[in-house]
Amino acid sequence: MAKKDAGGGGEGRGELGVRGLEKENAMAGASLHTRLCEVLDIEHPVIAFTHCREVAVAAIRAGGFAVLGEAMKTADEIQENIRWLRSQVGDKPFGIDLVLPSNAPRQGTPEELIAQIPESHMQYKERIHAAYDVPLPHNPVALRQWGGLNKRLGLAQIECVLDERVPAIATGLGSPEFLFEAAHDRGILMIGLIGATRQARHVLALGADMVVAQGYDAAGHTGAVGTFSIVPEVVEVAGDTPVIAAGGVTTGRHLAAALCLGAAGVWTGTAWLASEESDVDPLVKQRILQATGDDTTRTACISGKTMRILKCPWTEEWEKQDAPQVLKSPFQMLLSSDYLQAANDSRRADLMTEAVGQGVAFVDGAMPVREILQGMVAEAETVLGRFG
C-alpha cells in the first residue's frame, strides 16, 4: 500500500519514488510515444480528465491532453470555458466531456421532475437529513443543471460544443449517433467512454476516433468489469482505433501496465484531484490524501447509475436493508442533490464526498500538475526500460 502523507510532497511511491527517476530513465531509454500521441498531437500518452479548467491548462502545458468535464455547466458557461482554454493554450488540442444518458426525459424543470419522486423516497431522504443534522443548502443546487436531467439541457450543451468546434468531444452514459455525425462534419474527434465490450463495439460502429475502456476501479460512473480485463478485451475489437485505459490509473506503473495490455495511453482523473491547481474543496482534498481504495464505494445512490465515490453517510444509509430501491436517473440525482450541496455549503467534511477511483492510495501529496504528469511518465519509462 502506498504511504499516505496529507501534508507531504509525493515521496510515498516506494522503490520507484518520483525523485531520482530522471536518472534511472536516462539509462532506460524507453519511449512512450504511441498512436494516441500522433492522433492528439501530444507529447505524452496521458489524458487528464478534470472539472477544473486550471488543471486542464496545466496538463496541456506539461505535454498531455486534457478533457474538461462540463456536464454540470450551462451552455453559456461551457462557451466561456472553451474560449478561456483557447486563450491559455493557443492551438494546442483539448476535449470537452458531456454526459448524455439515453433514457433522460425529453424535458421538464428540476421542480417538475422532483414532483415525480415517490413520497417514500422523499421521506427516506428526510430521515437521512435528520439523522445526520444535514442543513439546508445555502447556494443554488449545482446538480440541478446537470446535462443528464433532460434531453433539452443536453442538446443545448451539445450545440454549444459543436458551434465552438472544440478539438475533441468525450461522451459517456450515452452516445447519440447524430452527435458523432455532426462532430465529424466539423472535424471534431469523438472519444467514446465505455464500461463493457459490447458498448465498445457500439461506439466503434458509430465512428469513434478513440475508445476509453474504463474498468470497475475507476472514479465516477463505471461498469462492472475490472481494468485488467476490459482493456485487452476492447483492444481485441478496436482494430486501428486507439484504446485508452481508465480505472485506477494514478502512477507510472499503471501507465506502463496499460501499454503492456495494448492500450495507446491512459485516462486519468483521481490523480489530479489534490493537485495544487485543483479547485476541489480543501476539506475534500484532505480526505483524498488520507484515503485508500477501501474508502471508496461503487453505488447507484447518487445518480441512479453505478459510480465510484468516497464513502459518506448518504452512501451508507442507502446500503441498509430498509432503504428503498434506488431510483433511475435522473430522479436519484435530484433526490441526492440537496444533501450533496448542503454538505459543501455547510463545510461539513463528515458529510462530503467526491468521485474517486481505487487508485487514490497513490495520491500522496498536493503537487503541481506538471510534476505529477512528468513523474508518471518517468516512472513508466523506467518500468518499461527494465524489460528493454
CA-nearest of 299, 322, 297 to 311 is 297
Which comes out higher in pLDDT, residue 106 or 255?
A: 255
Give the Cβ contact number of residue 20 at 10 Å.
11
Cα 155 from Cα 383, distance rounded (Å): 44
pLDDT tens-digit readout, 30-66: 479 999 999 999 999 999 999 999 999 999 999 999 9
| Whole-number pLDDT of residue 2 | 53
- For residue 41, the Cα-to-chain-centroid distance in whole angstroms is 22
Task: Outline where the chain has alpha helix (H).
Answer: 21-28, 35-40, 53-61, 75-89, 110-114, 119-131, 151-163, 177-185, 197-206, 227-238, 252-260, 282-290, 313-318, 331-345, 369-385
pTM of the predicted model, to two decimals?
0.89
What confidence tier does 319 reach under pLDDT thresholds 50, 70, 90?
very high
At 339, give phi and psi (nearest 5°): -60, -50
CATH architecture of the domain with range 32-277+372-377? Alpha-Beta Barrel (3.20)
Contacts of 197 (CB under 8 A, 6+ apart): 230, 233, 234, 237
Query: Counting beta carbons within 10 angstroms of the beta carbon of residue 55, is it exposed (0 to 12), middle (13 to 18) or buried (19 or more)?
Result: buried
Is the pLDDT reported for residue 346 higher than 60? yes
pLDDT tens-digit readout, 246-283: 999 999 999 999 999 999 999 999 999 999 999 999 99
- For residue 33, the Cα-to-chain-centroid distance in whole angstroms is 24
Report the pLDDT averaged over residues 361-373: 95
Cα 70 from Cα 118, distance rounded (Å): 29
At 19, give phi and psi (nearest 5°): -70, 130
| Whole-number pLDDT of residue 147 | 66
Least confident of 9-13, 102-106, 163-167, 188-192: 9-13
Joined together, the cell numbers standing for residue 290 give 488520507
pLDDT tens-digit readout, 220-232: 989 899 999 999 9
User: Where do the structural domains in the chain lie, given as residue ranges?
Assistant: 32-277+372-377
Q: 154: helix, coil or strand?
A: helix
| Whole-number pLDDT of residue 109 | 82
Counting residues of the chain whose pLDDT is more than 70, the rounded percentage is: 89
- Select the highest-mean-pLDDT range: 108-112, 197-201, 384-388: 197-201
| Whole-number pLDDT of residue 19 | 38
Helix axes 53-61, 75-89, angle to 10 degrees: 30
| Whole-number pLDDT of residue 29 | 39
